[in-house]
Amino acid sequence: MSAMSNSNWSRRSLFRAAAGMAAAGTLAACGSNNGRSGGSGSGVDLTQFFHAYGEQGTEQAIKKYAKAYDKANVTTQWITSADFESKLFATLLTKSAPDLFEFHPQIQMIKSGQVADLTDIITPVKDDFNPADIKSHTVDGKIYGVRMIDDPQFFFYRKSMLEKAKVEVPTTLDELMEAAAKLTTGKVKGLYMGDDLHSVINPMIWSAGADTLDEKNEIAYHTPGVIEGLKKMRKLFTSGHLLLGAPTASWDPSSLNQGLCAIQFCGMWAMPGIQKALGDDWGVFPFPKTIDSGKQSVYNGGWSMFVNAKGKNVEAAKEYVKWLWIDQKKYQEEWATSFGFHIPPRTSIAQTATKLKAGNAAEGVRLFNEFGHFDNIGWTQAMITSLEDVFANCVRKDMDPEAALDKADTAVNRELKKLFG
Partner 1 sequence: MSTTKTRDLARPAPAKASPAKPRRGLRGSPTFNFWLFTGPFLIGLAIFVYAPILWSIWLSFFEARFTVTPDKFIGFDNYTYMLTNDDFVGSLGTFTVFAAFIVPTTWALSLGLALLVNRLRFMRAFFRSVFFLPTACSYVAAALIWKMSIFSGVRFGMMNTVLGWFGVENIAWLVDPSPPWYWFVIVTARLWLQSGFYMILFLAALQNIPGELYEAAAIDGAKPGWQTFRYITLPQLRATSTAVILLLLIAAYQAFDEFFNLLSKTTWGRPPLVELYYKALGESQDYGAGSAGAVILTVLICAVTLLQGKFMGFGRGDESK
Residues within the interface to partner 1 (CB under 8 A): 3-4, 82, 85-86, 89-90, 92-93, 108-109, 112, 114, 187, 195-196, 198, 237, 240, 243-247, 260, 381-382, 384-385, 388-389, 392-393, 396-398, 407, 418
CB of 94 or CB of 293, closer to partner 1: 94
- Helix (H) / strand (E) element for 134: namely helix 131-135
User: Rounded to the nearest whole angstrom, what is the least distance from the CB of residue 382 to partner 1 in the complex?
Assistant: 5
User: Rounded distance, CA 118 to CA 318, Å?
Assistant: 7
Find the radius of gyration of the CA atoms of the chain: 25
**Closest to 364 (Cα-Cα) out of 347, 338, 341, 337:** 341
User: Rounded to the nearest whole angstrom, what is the least distance from the CB of residue 172 to partner 1 in the complex?
Assistant: 25
Decide: helix, strand or coil at residue 397.
coil
User: Rounded to the nearest whole angstrom, what is the least distance from the CB of residue 231 to partner 1 in the complex?
Assistant: 16
User: Rounded to the nearest whole angstrom, what is the least distance from the CB of residue 97 to partner 1 in the complex?
Assistant: 12
Give 56's DSSP letter. Answer: T
Torsional sign, CA 93, 97, 100, 102 = negative
User: Rounded to the nearest whole angstrom, what is the least distance from the CB of residue 273 to partner 1 in the complex?
Assistant: 19
CB of 276 or CB of 417, closer to partner 1: 417
Longest dimension (CA), the chain: 96
CB of 261 or CB of 284, closer to partner 1: 261
CB of 126 or CB of 418, closer to partner 1: 418
CB of 187 or CB of 216, closer to partner 1: 187
User: Rounded to the nearest whole angstrom, what is the least distance from the CB of residue 237 to partner 1 in the complex?
Assistant: 8
Q: Are 398 and 234 in contact (CB under 8 A)?
A: yes
Long-range contacts for 214-219 (Cβ within 8 Å, ≥24 apart)?
217/378, 217/416, 217/419, 217/420, 218/416, 219/409, 219/412, 219/413, 219/416
CB of 4 or CB of 358, closer to partner 1: 4
CB of 14 or CB of 23, closer to partner 1: 14
Q: What is the 3-state secondary structure (H, E, C) of 23-44?
A: HHHHHHHHCCCCCCCCCCCCCC
CB of 12 or CB of 187, closer to partner 1: 187
User: Rounded to the nearest whole angstrom, what is the least distance from the CB of residue 33 to partner 1 in the complex?
Assistant: 25
With a CB cutoff of 8 Å and minimum separation 6, the contacts of 282 are 156, 157, 158, 159, 256, 274, 275, 360
Beta strand segments in 337-416, E:
372-374
**Closest to 99 (Cα-Cα) out of 114, 113, 84:** 114
Is 384 buried (19+), middle (13-18) or exposed (0-12) by CB count in 10 A?
middle
**DSSP string covering 249-289, please?**
-TTSTHHHHTTSEEEEEEEGGGHHHHHHHHTT--EEEPBPB
User: Rounded to the nearest whole angstrom, what is the least distance from the CB of residue 240 to partner 1 in the complex?
Assistant: 8
CB of 5 or CB of 33, closer to partner 1: 5
The neighbouring-strand residues paired with 18 are none
User: Rounded to the nearest whole angstrom, what is the least distance from the CB of residue 378 to partner 1 in the complex?
Assistant: 15
